Structure 1
Amino acid sequence: MTHAPADLEARSSPSEQTVLSALKKYIPSPVPPSLKVSEQLHEQCLALLSEVDHLQGLLQQTLRNPQLVEVRQFRSNVIAELKMLQKLEQRFQSHPETTANSKRSKVQNGKSRASDAESDGDEAANEAEEDDDESTVEMRLMHALRSSNLPFYQAVWSIAKDSCRGLSALGKRFYWDAPVKRREKEPKVVAKQGGGGKQPNKDKRKSVFVDIVADDGEEWVKVSTMSESRLLFEMAKKGWERDSEDEYFSDAGSEVKPRRTVLRNFEGSDDDADDDEDELELIKLARDLRKAADATRLRYKHPRLRVVLSKIQEGNVPEIDDLLCEMRSYGVKVVCQDALSEISHGNSDLSHLLPRPFKRFTETLNVDCTLLLALVSDLSHAKEIEVSPSFHRAILRQIEVEKQQPLLPTELWPAMGGHELICTIEAGVRMREIVQLIGTETEKERTKIMMGDAPYTHIDRVSAIEKFQALSDWQVPANWKIPIKVVDAQPAITAAEIEGTLPSLAKQVAEGLSDINHSVFMYGWATGMTTISSNRTIDKQIEATVEKNRGTDETLEGPMVWICDTARSLAGKEKDRRP
């Protein structure tokens, strides 16, 4: 009859047990569970990095400024997680070897003292202690692996990839408090060129971190991987109570919402509610999202809010359903695990995550004078510009920018696409005046072709593009609709004011505009047409005036304006002339 190894060792004498322990080193040890988990996480981490790198590559290929989509911090977080896994793997590799060497050393010492029964007993105790140490290390490694943030990053990426479009950021903080006034004695912090700089006047406690900013900034998505058991434990700990007698209907009369008692360990007034750390984490999240969204407007609108609970099932636990109802009362769309299962995964095409800056363009575009000049400038059409000592420093900067990302093929022509193009009389007149005053001969000729001036008054689009192509180093798109039509803006503006198409605060907006800006921006507003411009200053001025005079009208919107990130001067600009 044969015996199992453990049974055989139990029936052996102390000296025989020492020999059997020595033989263990020749028996292959099973692979620790922690090593398998580590290898799996390592592979998943590399796969995630590969997809994020693929997205960054697409951004580099398609955007003039890829940094406008904030992905670097998310990638850095994943890399940090990868480094943590690599360190753990090094411990996996070193721990078994150390244990084996220790065992071999102790077995050799045990052989020289095999006749000493007391020494044999000590040896068995040492072996048991080693086994305990190895088990403890394994438990610690497994705990470290289970604490990895990688599953959360995977969830964020999966949700962004499967349910979002027009990505703006993977991770961004938004504030709802007004900036604190700086004390006179405090040193001023100057923001670095091209960066945001430090913001010591922002209170981080009055902010919320959004995991995904999508739909070109118009949607904020927060991801939670909290489990159902953890949520129930937190609800019990913090005093969430469900009492049918205290249920009440919402204002709409259609949704039942629970009242609950929140246990507190301090005395405080209602003003302290915002800082109440005893509030449930998900309720506080929904509330903070609402506050930050109410303090933020993008194109005159507050962002939409979505919270994804990837491990919470709706409809199973009444108390959890009550909590979800409370979250939704803040105007937050809550998506649970059951809804996520309907979304397909494994989409390798990431093009839908690219920004969509032209998604709300109207069929006809209203072109500002600043872009009319950029469309005919030698700086925009020549691949190689001979630098002249007479060039203004603004032109020198524009030449450097143009070398990195040419304006016309990467931004302006894609924006215009197949849209009909118009400009106001004032914009056209001012553009022609500038070209005649300081433009080169090629800039003057491009102006005549693009604007349909003599001798090209009756030229058709195909012929105009052929003529224009002869004056450009770039391939002029066949669908570019030139000549640009010139319109009289004032009748449309007056009619909109009389008919009430423009809001009453349009008068305040108009008061701060020059004649040319009045014609361009007010015409776009009056007709509902998208205005394209590089005049960011005027755009921000109009937006600030609208917000200042909004009152309680949450639906109020100003003109639809698309701002080109960079402008182009005419190459003929003299050195001492203002840019």
Structure 2
Amino acid sequence: MTQDPASTGDPPTFPHKPLDLQKYIPSPIQPSSKASERLHQQCLDLLAEVDELQSLLKSSLRNPQLVEVRQFRSNVTSELKMLQKLEQRFQSAASTSESQTKVQRESQSQDQDQDHDSDGDGEAGEDDDSVDMRLMHALRSSNLPFYQAVWDIARGSCYGLLALGKRFYWDGQVKDSSEKEKSASKTTSKKGGGKQPNKDKRKSVFVDIVADDGEEWVKVSTMSESRLLFEMAKKGWERDSEDECMSDEGSDGPRRRTVLRNFDGSDYEEDDDEDELELIKLARDLRKAADATRLRYRHPRLRVVLPKIGEGNVPEIDDILHEMRSYGVKVECQETLSIAAGAKKPELTCLLPRPFKRFTATLNVDCTLLLALVSDLSHAKEIVTLPSFHRAILRQIEVEKQQPLLQTELWPAMGEHELLCTNEAAIRMREIVELIGTDTEKERTKIMMGDPPYARLDRQIAVQKFQELSDWQVPTHWQLPIKAIDPQPAITAAKTEGKIPPVADRVAEGLSDINHSVFMYGWVTGMTTISSNRTIDKQIETTIETNRGTDEDLEGPMVWICDTARSLAGKEKDRKA
């Protein structure tokens, strides 16, 4: 981040009221190699914490790359190299100065009558001061304080981290952020956001922290009060009052609005950013990008953190903060952060993604996962490959060796939730197992679905029976059997009573009978559907977004998509069942 410009000349004043800007100008840092050493150590400490997070991600997630931290770490590493060079230059300058002083003293002792020796001392001193000033300027220009602020805010106030640095675009077309994540992962820029193909970078905003599993964007600005006030003066901003009245959110009546402006007349264009204040432009750009992005049918929440700016001290600054909040942005200043600073930092585990946070008490299990739960590929630690195996099965075997599906994804997702499925999903699953399943896959199906001879088994006994057919430790709290229900009464009732939006008819047109039963049942009951059918999930989202119209609150079914699927081991090489 760029540093505050040095002040020159008389301090600027505002038409509304003269301001004493001197008290907002930070005291200059005295040249010292100790400052370089201190920043160097802080950078090492920050890097160690980031490495600790990356290790935690690798040990906890099937795909650690889903959390974008690598570019942030690269930026901190680059900063460390710069600080190391500065420290070496400080040490070298100090050594050179000491040598010069020794030589000059020897010269003075040999000929004290030569006045030019004294002059030489002055010139050497000026050279030393010049070197120190240049080195300290480089030191004060370090980006480390900004990176440290981003990290501290992420650790201190964020959960479910998805990225430390990511660019989001707006172009009038709403895109789901999961699609953006895939695109961004292929084209990563130096700053970690990754410019998307055919995207105008001018129509974008760089978000420092993507948290709450994508639902919150956090922007950190280390701009100081003095820099903000100088910027306002430079761009001719003034405080003015209009007769226009506005109502604050949650207030009982209207109030007079304070307007900041740097223009006269009515020819001001909304998109003209030339004279716009940096913080106002930031809030506006965040709003544009958020309005063009939806995650599971919702726009992300916006938060801007200003650790070097206080609220309630300068009216002009308070007006800027109020203007930022008018864009639906939550603004936090140093007062809020000072309170939080006294609290103990949460454990790094709080930054792990929380994909199951919105799960309902009962989960609706799709046919794709019913098959994965009984497949030999999911339960055998060592699988002998056969010539008859389809290439898709061979790929799944390799993936399973790296990250066992049940242990790392499905059983954690299911937890202690009650499990059910639609009759159509259960029937289709049994048909596939009966047609191509192995003997062990057929036996697991009977236990899991409560089919004879296991229809009346106690849950704990059913889990024990299932354990006999698995190389993995089956969770004792797994809710067996999975109950099959008829979804049609609930779907029909929702349509009759108008409890489902009209766009549901459009969604239903593109679904097969089984997918209609699974996803529509989850929608009308408000139940979370878990599936590995990413194609259908995206199809539903696209249909809803295309037909959203002016309904900003329209939402489709809650669906959680499993990262990978598992076929039955008995699947023949060329069969497409």
Which range, TM-score by smaller chain?
Answer: 0.7 to 0.9
Corresponding residue number in structure 2 for 1:339: 336
Alpha-carbon distance, 1:346 to partner: 4.5
Question: Residue 170 of structure 2 contacts residue 289 of structure 2 at CA under 8 Å; is this kept in 1?
Answer: yes
Deviations 1:139-173 (A, max 9, x none): 11111111111111111111111111111111111
- Opposite residue 555 of structure 2, the aligned amino acid is E
- Opposite residue 210 of structure 1, the aligned amino acid is V
Distance 2:210 2:312 in 1: 28
- Opposite residue 481 of structure 2, the aligned amino acid is P
Q: 1:228 aligns with which of 208, 225, 229?
A: 225
Change (3 A) 1:257 1:282: farther
- Opposite residue 292 of structure 1, the aligned amino acid is A
Alpha-carbon distance, 1:227 to partner: 0.7
Question: Residue 492 of structure 1 contacts residue 523 of structure 1 at CA under 8 Å; is this kept in 2?
Answer: yes
Deviations 1:180-238 (A, max 9, x none): xxxxxxxxxxx999735773301110000011111111011111111111111111111
- Opposite residue 462 of structure 2, the aligned amino acid is A
Corresponding residue number in structure 2 for 1:166: 160
1:303 corresponds to 2:300: yes
Distance 1:44 1:284 in 2: 32
Question: Residue 240 of structure 2 contacts residue 261 of structure 2 at CA under 8 Å; is this kept in 1?
Answer: no
1:130 corresponds to 2:124: yes
* Correspondence list, 1:60-75, <5 A: 60-75=58-73
Change (3 A) 1:131 1:154: same
* Correspondence list, 1:344-355, <5 A: 344-347=342-345, 349-355=347-353
Corresponding residue number in structure 2 for 1:261: 261
1:502 corresponds to 2:493: no
Distance 2:255 2:64 in 1: 44
Distance 1:95 1:507 in 2: 76
Question: Residue 242 of structure 2 contacts residue 258 of structure 2 at CA under 8 Å; is this kept in 1?
Answer: no
Change (3 A) 1:380 1:228: same
Deviations 1:348-384 (A, max 9, x none): 6112111111111011000000000000011111111
Distance 1:255 1:409 in 2: 58
1:243 corresponds to 2:234: no
Distance 1:419 1:47 in 2: 41
- Opposite residue 220 of structure 2, the aligned amino acid is V
Deviations 1:491-527 (A, max 9, x none): 1100111111111110000010000000000000011
Question: Residue 159 of structure 2 contacts residue 351 of structure 2 at CA under 8 Å; is this kept in 1?
Answer: yes
TM norm structure 2:
0.88
Corresponding residue number in structure 2 for 1:208: 205
* Correspondence list, 1:176-187, <5 A: 176-177=170-171
Change (3 A) 1:233 1:575: same
Corresponding residue number in structure 1 for 2:457: 459
Question: Residue 534 of structure 1 contacts residue 566 of structure 1 at CA under 8 Å; is this kept in 2?
Answer: yes
- Opposite residue 331 of structure 1, the aligned amino acid is G
- Opposite residue 123 of structure 1, the aligned amino acid is D
Corresponding residue number in structure 2 for 1:18: none
1:541 corresponds to 2:561: no
Distance 2:73 2:85 in 1: 19
SS in structure 2 at match of 1:259:
strand
TM norm structure 1:
0.88
Alpha-carbon distance, 1:98 to partner: 2.4
Corresponding residue number in structure 1 for 2:511: 513
- Opposite residue 208 of structure 2, the aligned amino acid is D
Alpha-carbon distance, 1:99 to partner: 2.7
Corresponding residue number in structure 2 for 1:314: 311
Question: Residue 158 of structure 1 contacts residue 345 of structure 1 at CA under 8 Å; is this kept in 2?
Answer: no
Larger Rg: 1
Q: 1:151 aligns with which of 139, 145, 148?
A: 145
Distance 2:254 2:77 in 1: 47
Distance 2:257 2:228 in 1: 18
Change (3 A) 1:385 1:402: same
* Correspondence list, 1:71-86, <5 A: 71-86=69-84
Change (3 A) 1:59 1:330: same
Corresponding residue number in structure 1 for 2:35: 37
Superposition CA RMSD, Å: 2.1
Corresponding residue number in structure 1 for 2:13: none
Distance 1:476 1:259 in 2: 63
Question: Residue 246 of structure 1 contacts residue 259 of structure 1 at CA under 8 Å; is this kept in 2?
Answer: no
Using the TM superposition, name which of 153-162 and 474-483 deviates more. 153-162
Corresponding residue number in structure 1 for 2:374: 376
Question: Residue 280 of structure 2 contacts residue 324 of structure 2 at CA under 8 Å; is this kept in 1?
Answer: yes
Change (3 A) 1:468 1:217: same
Corresponding residue number in structure 1 for 2:568: 570
Alpha-carbon distance, 1:110 to partner: 5.4
1:142 corresponds to 2:136: yes
Deviations 1:4-33 (A, max 9, x none): xxxxxxxxxxxxxxxxxxxxxxxxxxxx84
Deviations 1:313-363 (A, max 9, x none): 111111111111111111111111112222144516112111111111011
SS in structure 1 at match of 2:489:
helix
- Opposite residue 169 of structure 2, the aligned amino acid is Y
Task: Kindly tell me the number of residue pairs found equivalent between the two proteins.
Answer: 530
Distance 2:136 2:184 in 1: 45
Distance 1:348 1:527 in 2: 36
Q: 1:402 aligns with which of 400, 419, 424?
A: 400
1:436 corresponds to 2:430: no
Corresponding residue number in structure 1 for 2:419: 421
Distance 1:200 1:372 in 2: 38
Distance 1:255 1:385 in 2: 72
Distance 1:145 1:87 in 2: 11
SS in structure 1 at match of 2:259:
coil
Change (3 A) 1:192 1:560: closer
Gaps of at least 5 residues in structure 2 are: 1-29, 174-181, 189-194
Identity of aligned residues (%): 73
Q: 1:276 aligns with which of 273, 277, 280?
A: 273
Alpha-carbon distance, 1:306 to partner: 0.7
Distance 2:450 2:391 in 1: 32
1:56 corresponds to 2:50: no
Corresponding residue number in structure 2 for 1:5: none
Distance 1:247 1:95 in 2: 61
Distance 2:294 2:527 in 1: 21
